[in-house]
Structure 1
Amino acid sequence: MEQFKGAIAVFLGAASFGILSTFVKQAYAQGFSLAEVTGIQAVFGMLFLWALHFITRRFSRKIKLYSKKTNYWKIIFAGFSTGMVSILYYKCVGLIPASVAIVLLMQYIWISALINLLILKQKPSQKEGIGIILILFATLFATGVFQDTVEKLDLAGVVYGLSAATAYAIFIIVNGKVGNDYPPIQKSALMVTGAFILIALILQPISLLHSSTDISIVQYGLLLAFFGTIFPPVLFAYGMPKTGVSLGSILSAVELPVAVGMSFYVLHEQVSTLQWAGVLAILGIIVWINIRNKPQHN
């Protein structure tokens, strides 16, 4: 029963990540800029997470069990990576279809393996190596390379997408190594604070302070913060320990079909049969890579 509850939590957390690109596209259609969209998400996310941390610290006894040894500024600095993901991915979404942008972001799978190999000297298993090659092949279908779709893709958008995938790979690696001696919500709050600092320095979303700014940016900020900054980290923190890494990784892959489905049904973007086949192939490969003969619980 506990594993089932954890699986539902991870599934919902990943699905919420998948709908972000749709909200970003809609915000752009309303005339809001990259700085405004990323800035408002970071502000609301940071405020809500800190509020949630102080509330849980007041009522939870488990928090007192954590022995904090990591300097908090290291976690804030690690949060720069998630800030870069937002900047690069949302820029990508503004230049190419959301259904293609999410496929490019999913390339973090082989990019993280490459980083582990080159920097951390950790070789992927034979199964992972085969899976990575298959994912690269399936990506050609998912992005429409074999169709006219590729001719419509903005090259800069593709570069931003792959850069976002690289930043996401770095975020995953760093997130797994830094600040694990902190309560999950406090760690998330510190990392989002780092993301906000980076966004403020690079994009300088000063227009959010102008009285002439369309107040509807608030609704997009709340949606993006809730589904991208608040909801998923809490659900993953609850669900991952119950599901284990293998099952959790499989469930997390639902982000891909959710994002493509939202772009097709809500944004009415053209997604061909071959692209759907590529998306489903990537999903299947991720499941295959993470399947174990016996479930692993961490």
Structure 2
Amino acid sequence: MSKYILMVFAGACSYGILSSLAKLSYAEGFNAAQVSFVQALLGAGVLWVIVFFQKKKTALISAKNWLLLLLTGAAIGLTTFLYYLSVKYIPASIAIIMLMQFTWITVLLDWYLLKNRPGKRLLISIACILIGTMLATGGITAATALSLKGICIAFASALLYALYIVANSKVGKDIPDIKRSAITVTGAAVSILLINCHQLTSGLPLTSDFFKWTGLLALFGTIIPPVLFAKGIPKIGASVSSVLMVAEMPVAIICASLLLKEQIHCMQWIGITIMLCAIVYLNMHSRDK
């Protein structure tokens, strides 16, 4: 079990640096549609090359599993696009706090869709997460000064992220991990293309700087994590995985502080700590049940 826990944890840490990299790419004139699409496209290309050169023959994948994996990929693809888009309007440290709302959404979905009842303390844990979220965003006064559009976009990415985790824990578990990841990331690329076709049809900035950022985003966003999640999440389940994915938040906030020079105040750290404790408690209680 520890090997699979480490895989999901490492994937979450890898995701943590993405918002800072995306925001740095914006400073060079690129946008969320461009970087998220090429990130997914590069990731899918690398994964399909690995699949092609694998010597081991695998059984044919049914049309149903293809569709389900593509839809699972669409969920994480749109999560990525909306998350990157949100940092255009709000600080990266705030965007990750909003994205972390996926933890309690995941537990609710796991309960409603998969009948994995989390226990009676769910509402208490959710209340603590919401209190921690308010403190982590700087309190009521600071929160009202934030872009409502950015907050809504980031929350939508959290909802899609929760759907991805639940789906990834159940769909195509008998399919080899690399092929499963390749199909999923292909679904991500297609979904981003469809939702941004009006922007992308005008062309992409095929420069070295553009590929520098999209290459890093692909490595840490669509190559390493999907492979680790495809192998780890089905082994340990959706709820436990959402505990481990909490690692994404401190990594993202530290990166925002170091790379983007965003100021993180004492009250925000208190709120972040409350969120972390509530999230871990919520999901550990769910796993025990």
TM over 0.5: yes
Structure 2 residue 117 is matched with structure 1 residue 133: no
Inter-partner Cα distance in structure 2 for 1:177 and 1:245: 9
Judged with a 3 Å threshold, the aligned counterparts in structure 2 of structure 1 residues 40 and 208 are, in CA distance, closer, same or farther, namely farther
CA shift for structure 1 position 286: 1.9
Tell me if structure 2 keeps the 8 A contact 1:74–1:178: yes
Does residue 37 of structure 2 align to residue 43 of structure 1?
A: no
CA contact (8 A) 2:97 2:249 kept: yes
Aligned residue number for residue 219 of structure 1: 212
Kindly provide the amino acid, as one letter, of the partner of residue 31 in structure 2.
S
- Aligned ranges 1:93-242 → 2 under 5 Å: 93-116=87-110, 123-147=117-141, 149-204=142-197, 205-209=200-204, 213-239=206-232
The answer to whether the 8 A contact 1:42-1:225 is kept is yes
Letter in 2 for 1:97: P
Give aligned pairs, total. Answer: 286
Residue 81 of structure 2 corresponds to 87
1:221-274, CA deviations, whole angstroms, 9 ceiling, x for partnerless residues? Answer: 111111011111223345557777776543321111111111112111121111
What's the offset of the Cα at 1:130? 2.1
Cα displacement string for residues 42-98 of structure 1 (whole angstroms, at most 9, x for unaligned residues): 11111011122233x31x4xx74x684544133213321112111211111111000
CA offsets, 1:173-213, max 9 Å, x none? 22223222211221111111111111111212245556xx4
Preserved CA contact (<8 Å) 1:36 1:207: no
Q: For 2:230 and 2:51, locate their aligned partners in 1 and report how far apart those are by CA, in whole Å.
A: 13
Q: Percent identity over the alignment?
A: 39
The 8 Å contact of residues 110 and 239 in structure 2, kept in 1 or not, is answered as: no
Alignment-mate amino acid for residue 47 of structure 2: L
* Partner Cα distance (1:114, 1:136) in 2: 15
CA RMSD, 1 decimal: 2.8
Question: What CA distance in whole angstroms lies between the structure 1 residues aligned with 2:133 and 2:183?
Answer: 34
Q: Using the TM superposition, name which of 84-93 and 197-206 deviates more.
A: 197-206
Say whether residues 1:283 and 2:276 are aligned partners: yes
Match of 1:72 among 66, 71, 91: 66
Contact residue 106 and residue 162 of structure 2 kept, 8 A: yes
- Residue number in structure 2 paired with 1:14: 12
Which runs of 5 or more residues in structure 1 are unaligned? none
Deviation for aligned residue 1:157: 0.2
Cα distance in 1 between the residues matched to 2:272 and 2:286: 25
Amino acid at match of 1:31: G
Match for 2:22: what amino acid?
V
* TM-score, normalised by the number of residues in structure 1: 0.85
Residues 208 and 52 of structure 1, relative CA distance in 2, 3 Å threshold: farther
Distance 2:191 2:235 in 1: 33
| SS, match of residue 173 in structure 2 | coil
Counterpart-to-counterpart distance in 1, 2:121 and 2:41? 41
3-state DSSP class of the match of 1:250? helix
SS in structure 2 of the partner of residue 254 of structure 1: helix
Larger deviation: 128-137 or 26-35? 128-137
Cα separation, partners in 2 of 1:35 and 1:73, compared to 1, 3 Å: same
Query: Displacement, 1:116?
Result: 4.8
SS across alignment from 1:285: helix
In structure 2, what is the Cα distance between the partners aligned to 1:10 and 1:208? 35
Structure 2 residues not aligned, in runs of 5+: none
